[in-house]
Structure 1
């Protein structure tokens, strides 16, 4: 227990760029959050005025939260975390007050753990609209590759149009392919996430590299699923795609990212047109590695009967927490083109970008 603690000595301020390199380790050790410096950096670039820190006069950071304004209608809140020894002392309330001042009358969404639902409702949030599971576990890559081979053998027996899967390094793809991915992402969300994605795709030189193969020494790796509109056959590379983009001959059918945290890797996001494509993306992302790795992913509740979810459980991932989507009860009418139907938001989502609303 902290003696002589006075909430009046706590200051809530905005993130500064220097804070992104000095986020305390206790934030990353909170079980189930799956948070990384890369995620905070991306949010900071979306709306630096919506990133808040609570600190003591000694400059010790004891709390953090997000309240990002995405446009004139929408805002999202996430990563409300207070250091364990300072909880239930009013720190979270201070952070939330500043967040609500910032988002003003926008339609504001959060995700909540079950124990906070009642408190959130009292503060003006809606009843939960849907929920998601946070899965964490060690994956044996050798066993995973056997699963991938079995699935691919079955797939080869079918005569469907060929779907291609290629790994890519997000910071190395050109602008034209990046725009294709951003457009696909926007179709899923109903909002443009250009700034967030560009920042998420950046290479992080400060993250320690591992000692496996060349590709997984990167801090972020992507996997793209697509189909050509003509009869082009393998082998396919990123260069092949680029040579056909001018005539718009490819249809993106899904993509996934895996990026490194202080401990383990997060798969986020994972979007696909159906569960078999999602499963292929997940397996192929992990098959890049050659060892046992720690992985986490946030899966919407409506996907727990999918083959992907079953395979993840068989590979050793366990549900460590459930989060619930909630919205502020303000009756703001969303702008033209904004679709807030939860089923629309998650129909192609197999792994959420974060635990935060509107960045599904």
Structure 2
């Protein structure tokens, strides 16, 4: 039967859709984002999550356009099933998305072959680019690198920065608020709902007997400094419960910590995604990367999106040396009904990209 675009219905996600993203999205677009990401987006803005559906209820496309505030919106995961591409499905999804975001400043991540089409539709020229890197990491080799770096650190007696592993769904509200505030400082907008949803441990993960951490779907690493640094090192026991957590909270009550960076690693359909990864400098970013991965064993598949301005950083160089390869270049573009197409100005001056070493969204337009 021939395809008729008039038979395609565009509707909002239902809650069951957010929990059951079609498997073809992860199979065909192997580097696509995780189910957790879609669930988090749905909680942020259910009316900004769209599905293209045939009369037989087959889902052939999805699209996100999330209203983050009265001024900003962000889109991602514009994906159409391969056999239905270039037939107008993406246009239907994009039109509904633009109706929803209205005149907000609207950002997307694009792949290269969509730039010209996006500009025609009113998007700006790319504001900045980022590199997606994917590969298998040998954890034993990584741990040796971490030990070498930490030995040098000890020689310099640079022990004022603490790194703590945490399970996001178990951390105290006070510490969570600190992380949310740090995230807001970098983005210039509050992402409270998105982060709280991302931090939930609700994904069904296939357990791997060789690694207990595979039972968790998301793990975090926090870098911080006590304002008066007199506390003992922070450690984590085998049950992933924070020792000295009372010590941390007492400092938060009387002398708040200074967060210097944080990173999350979460389970995807295939492998693990590190996103976000934010840090005050590249050495802290490097420590977060190494420490997050060193909790595993064997060889694991990892991906991360790093802004182009970090390609000369030690983190980027080390990641490439570990075997991760450039999978794609991602282009950040913006749209607003208030702006002329082609405006190349950084439209969100409060976005501190210099502290971004791993971007949150791994989704781009695949239509």
**Which category describes the TM-score, using the shorter chain as reference length?**
over 0.9
1:121-200 equivalence runs, <5 A: 121-160=119-158, 162-200=160-198
Q: Distance in 1 between matches of 2:105 and 2:307?
A: 21
For the residue of structure 1 that corresponds to 2:254, the secondary structure is coil
For the residue of structure 2 that corresponds to 1:225, the secondary structure is strand
TM-score for both structures, normalised by structure 1: 0.93
Report the CA distance between 1:298 and its aligned residue: 0.6
Q: Distance in 2 between matches of 1:262 and 1:12?
A: 26
Distance 1:33 1:105, change over 3 A: farther
Q: Distance in 2 between matches of 1:218 and 1:27?
A: 23
Preserved CA contact (<8 Å) 1:76 1:356 = no
Distance 1:342 1:279, change over 3 A: farther
Report the CA distance between 1:37 and its aligned residue: 0.6
Q: Distance in 1 between matches of 2:302 and 2:169?
A: 22
Report the CA distance between 1:80 and its aligned residue: 0.2
Preserved CA contact (<8 Å) 2:219 2:264 = yes
1:267-346 equivalence runs, <5 A: 267-331=274-338, 340-341=347-348, 344-346=351-353
1:42-53 equivalence runs, <5 A: 42-53=40-51
Preserved CA contact (<8 Å) 1:230 1:249 = no
Report the CA distance between 1:27 and its aligned residue: 1.0
Asked if 1:263 corresponds to 2:261, the answer is no
For the residue of structure 2 that corresponds to 1:229, the secondary structure is coil
Aligned residues: 350
Asked if 1:217 corresponds to 2:224, the answer is no
Which of 93, 98, 104 is the equivalent residue of 1:95? Answer: 93
| 1:85-124 CA distance string (max 9 Å, x none) | 0000110001001001111111111111110000011111
Uncovered stretches (5+) of structure 1, i.e. residues with no partner:
333-338
Report the CA distance between 1:342 and its aligned residue: 6.2
For the residue of structure 2 that corresponds to 1:131, the secondary structure is strand
Preserved CA contact (<8 Å) 2:107 2:335 = yes
Report the CA distance between 1:134 and its aligned residue: 0.7
Distance 1:249 1:353, change over 3 A: same
Uncovered stretches (5+) of structure 2, i.e. residues with no partner:
236-241, 340-345
Q: Which residue of 1 aligns with 2:343?
A: none
For the residue of structure 2 that corresponds to 1:49, the secondary structure is helix
Q: Distance in 2 between matches of 1:325 and 1:170?
A: 28
Which of 200, 203, 209 is the equivalent residue of 1:202? Answer: 200
Q: Which residue of 2 aligns with 1:335?
A: none
For the residue of structure 2 that corresponds to 1:128, the secondary structure is coil
Q: Which has the larger displacement, 159-168 or 216-225?
A: 159-168
1:11-160 equivalence runs, <5 A: 11-31=9-29, 33-160=31-158
Q: Which residue of 2 aligns with 1:336?
A: none
Q: Distance in 2 between matches of 1:65 and 1:59?
A: 17
Preserved CA contact (<8 Å) 2:7 2:54 = yes
